[in-house]
């Protein structure tokens, strides 16, 4: 099978469209093309930072918020604002474009089962706006974020183990 060269944009990001192989392993052009604008190494770093942050004994993130207010993520993370992992995670996410932040949220949603990979663009569109503005806190406030992000990568036929 010939190897295709990646198309890198001016920032060095791989913009090669990805087509998911079907169950037989062949590339079917009718399957949705999913482009991820976040470099895989950045996603893997974020997963590692989130795992390290949430593994700390003093970090307790409830499965569901006590109140349905929109700022529950801020309430959960407020006590840890000086934490290195949290600061690093927030810094990386803050440096992302709005599209990349929306993709981070959408990837978590796909991994959580809220959207299928075929609904990728719908998930990204849903995440644009409020969710992308507060993406770091929103994502980190979910207790299984690392599992969900990894499952989202698997749905895209990607892995941090590569």
In a domain, residue 59? The reply is yes
In a domain, residue 49? The reply is yes
Pick the more confident residue, 26 or 159. 159
3-state secondary structure (DSSP) of residue 152: helix
Mean pLDDT, residues 126-151: 90
Which range marks the domain in which residue 127 is found?
39-155
Pick the more confident residue, 19 or 10. 10
| Cβ pair 91, 83 in contact under 8 A | no
In a domain, residue 14? The reply is no
In a domain, residue 43? The reply is yes
Pick the more confident residue, 79 or 118. 118
Reported confidence tier of residue 31, pLDDT bands at 50, 70, 90: low
**pLDDT per residue as tens digits for the range 32-69:** 678 899 999 999 999 999 998 887 655 444 455 554 44
Query: Which residues 6+ apart lie within 8 Å of 36 measured at CB?
Result: 18, 103, 107, 156, 158
CA separation for the pair 160, 162 (Å, rounded): 5
**pLDDT per residue as tens digits for the range 103-128:** 999 999 999 999 999 999 999 999 99
Residues of the chain with pLDDT > 90, as a percent, come to 48
CA separation for the pair 111, 93 (Å, rounded): 19
In a domain, residue 32? The reply is no
State the pLDDT at residue 1: 32
In a domain, residue 13? The reply is no
Token readout for 101 is 């932040």
Q: Tell me how many domains the chain contains.
A: 1
In a domain, residue 115? The reply is yes
Answer yes or no: pTM beyond 0.85. no
């Amino acid at each position: 099978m010939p190897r295709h060269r990646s198309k890198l944009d001016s920032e060095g990001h791989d913009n090669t469209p990805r087509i998911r192989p079907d169950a037989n392993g062949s590339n079917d052009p009718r399957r949705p093309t999913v482009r991820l604008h976040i470099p895989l190494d950045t996603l893997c770093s974020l997963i590692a930072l989130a795992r390290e942050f949430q593994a700390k004994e003093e970090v307790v993130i409830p499965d569901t918020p006590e109140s349905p207010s929109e700022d529950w993520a801020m309430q959960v993370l407020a006590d840890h604002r000086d934490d290195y992992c949290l600061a690093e995670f927030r810094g990386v996410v803050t440096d992302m474009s709005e599209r990349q932040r929306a993709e981070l949220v959408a990837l978590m949603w796909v991994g959580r089962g809220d959207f299928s990979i075929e609904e990728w663009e719908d998930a990204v569109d849903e995440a644009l706006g409020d969710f992308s503005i507060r993406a770091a806190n929103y994502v980190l406030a979910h207790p299984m974020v690392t599992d969900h992000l990894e499952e989202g990568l698997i749905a895209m036929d990607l892995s941090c183990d590569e």
